[in-house]
Amino acid sequence: GFKMGIVGLPNVGKSTLFNALTKTAAAQAANFPFCTIEPNVGDVAVPDARLDKLAEIAGSRQIIPARMTFVDIAGLVKGASKGEGLGNQFLANIREVDAIAHVLRCFEDGDVTHVDGRVDPVADAETIETELMLADMESIEKRLQNITRKVRGGDKEAVQQERLLKAAMAALEDGRPARTVEVDAEDAKAWKNLQLLTTKPILYVCNVDEASAATGNEHSAKVQAMAEAQGAAHVIISAQIEEEISQLDAEEAEMFLSEMGLEEAGLDRLIRAGYQLLNLQTYFTVGPKEARAWTIRKGALAPQAAGVIHGDFERGFIRAETIAYDDYVTLGGEQAARDAGKMRAEGKTYVVADGDVIHFLFNA
Ligand code: GDP
């Protein structure tokens, strides 16, 4: 599955946000299988109204949403790259995630201490980014040393690694994160394997006061400008509101949201923004037993999509019987879509579309 790491300075609202996420997940746990919750890891359902619609049409007994994992990565402080706070341990945690949700304090509250004594989310973002850049530089130096012998021996992989590490180092020494390096298609895989912290895509989460949840405030406006300049994503959320909502049932939550002038829970927006940031999309498998959503990268081919269900489905892939979501809903189900000629037999080179309803045929 895909993993988002929640980072941020102390006292910005990370735990509040994470608790809201996992409480919502815990409330769902009774209804959904495969929901494991550890102290700092939360497996959260990806909200998708289409799945409910499909289940209703097919009369599915069970609904299984797609999932995204959130990891609460505490302990990031100034000096973390030098081992301050939880230091290197948390840096190792960040290496494992696919993207970073960077929580920034955009609320004023005299009772909640800011580590640097003032609310300045753009400066906070720079503090964290600097730590990540320093950590990358340190790990690049080590790795360059470790591969010198192989490079001298002419090992092709090591030569490629050295070239990429040096490109990353040049950017970092120039004060830029490694994600600003342009990488050729043939280097893309090796580049990703370097697992540099500053190559991870970033979603800035502006944690605003309750009154600004619908509109944002002057702090979140600055973050937005920064995010746009960097080509990063951002969402505006009030962690406190989200925590309150996570304690309500669905009906109460809806009333509460509309009172606040919000169309949907911030967590839903957060999850969706993460989905977008990671370039993900959904396809569905639908039957009387269950309706289920699966997550794939945009551009994934049918066999790769099948592989998300089971490796055997990918290896033995024969074809994908596919109905577009709109056809399934408009025509009123699988049989009707089939009768109308809207079920397509797609082969190995089919690029799966968002919302496709699929049956895979495969050799066991
Ligand atoms: P963390 O250290 O980043 O995990 O921050 P916490 O989630 O523990 O929050 C630190 C303090 O800020 C707690 O006392 C929270 O109740 C408070 N807090 C979090 N979000 C908000 C907010 O949106 N507004 C206000 N006023 N306080 C908040």
pLDDT recorded at residue 36: 44
The closest alpha carbon to 305, from 362, 257, 260, belongs to 362
Q: Is 16 labeled as ligand-binding?
A: yes
Mutate to test the pocket of ligand 1, among 12, 14, 15, 16 (most ligand atoms within 8 A of CB): 16
* Tally of CB atoms within 10 A around 126: 13
Question: Distance from first CA to last CA of the chain, Å, rounded?
Answer: 24
Q: Are 205 and 185 in the same domain?
A: no
The answer on 220 and 143 residing in a single domain is: no
Cross-strand partners of 5: 71, 100
Asked if residue 289 is part of any domain, the answer here is no
Q: Which two tokens stand for residue 211?
A: 């009154």
**Ligand 1 and 7: CB distance under 6 A:** no
pLDDT value at position 311?
92
Q: Is 12 annotated as a binding residue?
A: yes
Q: What is the pTM of this model?
A: 0.86
- The answer on whether 223 is annotated among ligand-binding residues is no
Exposed / middle / buried, residue 237 (Cβ in 10 Å: 0-12, 13-18, 19+)? buried
Which pLDDT tens digit goes with each residue over 167-193? 999 999 999 999 999 999 999 999 999
Q: Indicate if 216 and 257 belong to the same structural domain.
A: yes
Give dist(CA 126, CA 113) in Å, integer: 19
Comparing 95 with 321, the larger pLDDT belongs to 321
Question: Phi and psi dihedrals of 111, rounded to 5?
Answer: -80, -15
Do 91 and 240 fall into the same domain?
A: yes
Sign of the CA dihedral with 7 first, then 11, 15, and 21 last: negative
For residue 230, tell me if it sits in a domain: yes
Q: Is the CB of 8 under 6 A from ligand 1?
A: yes
What is the 113 CA–ligand 1 centroid distance (Å)? 9
ipTM over 0.90: yes
Backbone angles phi, psi at 85, to 5 degrees: 60, -140
Look up the domain containing 357 and give its range: 299-362
The residue behind tokens 């049918």 is 302
6 and 70 together in one domain: yes
Q: Which of 158, 183, 198 is the last residue in one of the domains? A: 198
Residue 241 alpha carbon to ligand 1 centre in Å: 11
Number of domains comprising the chain: 3
From residue 283, alpha-carbon distances to 2, 305, 320 in Å are 15, 8, 12
